[in-house]
Amino acid sequence: MIGRLNHVAIAVPDLEAAAATYRDTLGARVSAPQAEPDHGVTVVFVELPNTKIELLHPLGDNSPIAGFLAKSPAGGIHHICYEVEDILAARDRLQAQGARVLGDGEPKIGAHGKPVLFLHPKDFCGSLIELEQV
Ligand SMILES: CC[C@@H](C(=O)O)C(=O)SCCNC(=O)CCNC(=O)[C@H](O)C(C)(C)COP(=O)(O)OP(=O)(O)OC[C@H]1O[C@@H](n2cnc3c(N)ncnc32)[C@H](O)[C@@H]1OP(=O)(O)O
Ligand SMILES: [Co+2]
């Protein structure tokens, strides 16, 4: 069901510093910061030859990544995103197997303009999973 690795997301306490680290120290191509108010984050994309890194910083009072950064103030890997061809079919199959789909279970439009869903980390080896329909 899952396909390519779309991105790995890293929650960071200082977005500008993290972008500079990837651009200046690691020599990667990084985007300008992009506010995603529907998701409670500001994101910088790092373009790699085979995938993307998503640098995430909390936006607003109820950011879903605030608790994660409170527990890991230096930042850390927050989620991995796999591509799926049919996100509703994937959701239904996962729920039928007992997996918890986060939020109201309906896909939202993600940072790449495609529908996304999140799966509870406790159901997937301690890793938060994002599914993106491509
Ligand atoms: C930019 C848009 C989009 C894209 O297109 O790419 C994005 O990526 S948006 C990214 C941000 N959005 C989300 O993360 C949405 C889904 N996330 C959530 O709903 C919540 O973050 C969460 C996963 C339910 C966690 O909520 P929180 O309130 O922080 O934590 P809890 O205390 O309820 O956590 C329960 C349990 O899970 C552990 N946990 C939390 N976050 C993670 C994580 N990222 N990876 C692994 N484990 C995580 C947490 O430590 C708790 O464990 P215990 O302490 O053992 O109970
Ligand atoms: Co993401």
Q: Which residue has its alpha carbon closest to ligand 1 atom 17?
A: 64
CA 90 to chain centre: 17
**pLDDT, position 116:** 98
Angle at 45 between CA 25 and CA 37, to 5 degrees: 130
- Are 84 and 133 in contact, with CB atoms under 8 Å apart? yes
Mean of per-residue pLDDT scores for the chain: 98
- Note down the domain range covering 100: 5-133
Q: What is the predicted pLDDT for the residue at 82?
A: 98
- Decide: helix, strand or coil at residue 13: coil
CATH number at residue 58: 3.10.180.10
Q: What is the pLDDT of residue 65?
A: 98
Q: Which of 75, 35, 41 is nearest to 61 (CA)?
A: 41
Q: According to the model, what pLDDT value does residue 67 have?
A: 98
Ligand 1: which residue has its CA nearest to atom 25?
64
Encode pLDDT of 99-121 as tens digits.
Answer: 999 999 999 999 999 999 999 99
Mean pLDDT of 51-59: 98
Sign of CA dihedral 37, 116, 68, 42: negative
Q: How far is the CA of 12 from the centre of ligand 1 (A)?
A: 14
pLDDT of residue 77: 98
Query: Whole-model pTM above 0.90?
Result: yes
